[in-house]
Amino acid sequence: MNHRISVAVFVALAASAAAQSIVSPSGRDRFEGSTNSPYPLGRANGRFQQLHADLGTAARTILGHAYRADATTQRADVLSFTADLEVVLAAAGRAPNQASTTFADNLGANAVTVLPRTLVNFPTTSRPAADPAATFEFRIPYATPYALPANNSGLCVDVVLHGNQSSRGTNVNFLPYLDAQDFPTDGRSEVAGYRFGTGCPAVGSNLPASARFSMTRFLDTSVSMEIDLRDAVPSTSIVPATTALVVGLGAFPQPWPTAAQCTLYPTLDVAVTLPGPNDSAGDWFGYVAVPSSMPAGQRFYVQCVSGSPSPGSGDLTFSDASVVTVPPLGDATLRAVRIANGSNRTSPTGTVPRTVTVTEFF
């Protein structure tokens, strides 16, 4: 009977925790971050604060926090590792846009050591199957829950790293590929594209073409897509090579009829020739405007196809493909921020970059 009661209580607590889970920066539960970060878990000696002013005004009990894998830059597995860390939660002593480089200034009232110095084991994580990652796998459960009051002024999460053990060795910095979000000063909102598939090489090259895509929405609501194409068909002084952007609402991988080693991944809904030629390395970098009426969260499949107009050359190159997502409207007000010292946990100060590791509170 006691066993059944304890199981029921456990299930109820788990359901309650899931119900009150919240992600900061706000909205990034649905959108991939624009970058990745080693902070805090990839450092062997450091102190890291994050100020979160976007957790809502309702009272909540926080049982732990977690980070997720970056889906757009991680390629291989991040092998299991152990971090020697401690965590303090407190009311935020400063608003994120007024964060101090002095750690003590950012710790406000009601400071609680929610996790005394502890060895926390993190599992091997594979590249997420989609963006953003479906779960926050780097979980840090607290020994002492934290009561965030209603109408709070924000939360300060203070994490101190005393050491680590990873495949790189003992107390060695490494990159765990944690999803993170940049906050440019102009308030634009960015979402990185999720790359998939394999490009094919140009004639005479052993390097498959690749392309990195990202979408940006500006405060004036305009939207653009950044394209960074590498190792496609090169232009010569006599014959320029051009690139087309293929856009589809879905994925339907098909070998190209005249180049079986190349695969077209998107459905062929729209194809647009990019302005200007590729350079002599087969690279192209630039921006394409996207209709601002596109709703946030709209997803497209995109790929670059390059060719040379020289008759009979047969030179054709396909990049890998990406899923790109129209981002939400940005915000010039900084609602989450990091204060970091990545090399000395005893230092009273750190730096304040406009980057924050995407964090789930459960």
Q: What is the pLDDT of residues 121-150, one digit of tens each?
A: 999 999 999 999 999 999 999 999 999 999
Domain 189-325 has CATH 1.20.58: no
- H/E stretch holding 182 reads strand 178-182
- H/E stretch holding 13 reads helix 2-19
Of the candidates 327, 336, 113, 103, the one whose C-alpha atom is nearest the C-alpha of residue 222 is 327
By the 10 Å C-beta count (0-12 exposed, 13-18 middle, 19+ buried), 308 is classed as buried
The pLDDT tens digits of the residues spanning 229-239 come to: 999 999 998 88
The pLDDT tens digits of the residues spanning 50-86 come to: 999 999 999 999 999 999 999 999 989 999 999 999 9
The token pair that represents 162 in the structure block: 């005393």
Residue 14, pLDDT > 50, answer no
pLDDT number for residue 314: 62
In degrees, to the nearest 5, what angle opens at C-alpha 134 toward C-alphas 292 and 27?
Answer: 40
In the chain, which residues fall in CATH 2.60.120?
20-183+334-361
Residue 296, pLDDT > 50, answer yes
Confidence class for position 255, pLDDT limits 50, 70, 90: very high
Average of per-residue pLDDT values in the chain: 92
pLDDT number for residue 313: 54
Of the candidates 331, 304, 308, the one whose C-alpha atom is nearest the C-alpha of residue 319 is 304
Judged by DSSP in three states, 120 sits in: strand
Answer for the pair 337, 31: CB distance below 8 angstroms, yes or no.
no
Residue 309, pLDDT > 90, answer no
pLDDT number for residue 310: 63
B/e letters for 278-295, b = 16+ CB within 10 Å, e = fewer, are beeebbbeeebebeeeee
| Entry pTM | 0.89
In the chain, which residues fall in CATH 2.60.40?
189-325
**Domain 20-183+334-361 classification at class level:** mainly beta
Residue 305, pLDDT > 90, answer yes
Of the candidates 210, 226, 241, 244, the one whose C-alpha atom is nearest the C-alpha of residue 288 is 226
